[in-house]
Amino acid sequence: MHKHISFAFLFLTFFFGACGDSETSAGIEQGLSEPVEVTGSSSIVKFSSSSFAKSSSSSKVSSNSRTVLSQNPTECEFGTLLDERDGQTYKTIKIGDQVWMAENLNYEMDSSFCYMNSLDSCEKYGRLYTYYTADEACPAGYHLPTREEFAILMRPLSERINEKSEDWSYYMAPFALKATEGWEPYTKPFHGDVYLPASTNATCFTALPAGYRMSGPGFKNAGRETYFWCRDDHSEGLRIAIDMSYDTFFVTSYWWDDNEAFSVRCIKD
């Protein structure tokens, strides 16, 4: 497995700087384009948007440079996609100007796998694909998204950690993208009394913790993480995938061995 770890230092610098002894920490000093405010003493972090608020906590995380998406799941614009290759029907979701599959692809191909080789896992999570298979897997009218297309999805949801850096990560974005059920809870504090907020799935993207198949082979992290391939022509052998985890505030992107097998979310042409 080839996963760059330079992001870890960035995360520690940003997060513990933002959650230090003072009630308000200037995010600009941590590489953000605008300040991010952390206030109060509650154990739950909250979005500034009322639709993201959880419990009666007074704590919040707010962005001064972007409006956090406040879409109510009941107002999401769903559609359907019929894959004529095998007759499967998928739910789709319009988010901004993009139309995404709202479910993971489950089209059987060579070099695609069910987690732990269980057909029940394919029914629950969709299939896991190696990179070259993923690049050819989407049905007609849809394609494997680029990292920039994922970025367009992320930008209205939160803050980019450092716009000038090649490190690619979005703070607070996963909670609007992850399904509200199926993820292992993370109950440990990050610092002091700051805890992860509950996922809202406010976009109805409904990311599930499908885990992945290692190039080893072997399977890992169902219930804890999900990985989506991005279309990428940069490097033979290593390709970009985005990562959402049960225990972080971030959506991140790393280089991976193209023989790892990850989930696929197709986007409309």
Tell me the one-letter amino acid at 215. Answer: S
Between CA 78 and CA 137 the distance in angstroms is 22
- Residue 80's φ and ψ, nearest 5 degrees, are -135, 150
Q: Return the pLDDT at 73.
A: 57
What is the chain's Cα-based Rg? 18
> Does residue 31 sit within a domain?
no
- Residue 46: inside a domain: no
> Dihedrals φ, ψ of 236, to 5°?
-65, 130
Give the per-residue pLDDT at 75.
81
Residue 12, in any domain of the structure: no
Predicted pLDDT at 232 = 80
124 within a domain of the structure (yes/no): yes
- Does residue 110 belong to any structural domain of this protein? yes
pLDDT at position 236 is 74
Q: Is residue 17 part of a domain?
A: no
Q: Which residues pair with 146 in a beta bridge?
A: 231
* pLDDT given for residue 17 in this prediction: 38
In a domain, 44, yes or no: no
Whether 235 maps to a domain, the answer reads yes
Q: What letter represents residue 33's amino acid?
A: S
Domain count for the chain, please give it: 1
Phi, psi of 264 (to 5 degrees): -130, 130
Peptide bond just before 217 cis, omega within 30 deg = yes
Q: Which regions in the chain score pLDDT beneath 50?
A: 1-71
Residue 190's pLDDT is 74
Look at strands 159-160 and 169-171 and give their pairing: antiparallel
Identify the pLDDT of residue 37: 30
**Residue 230: helix, strand or coil by DSSP?**
coil
Specify the pLDDT at position 165.
Answer: 59
Query: 221 lies in which domain range?
Result: 73-153+204-268
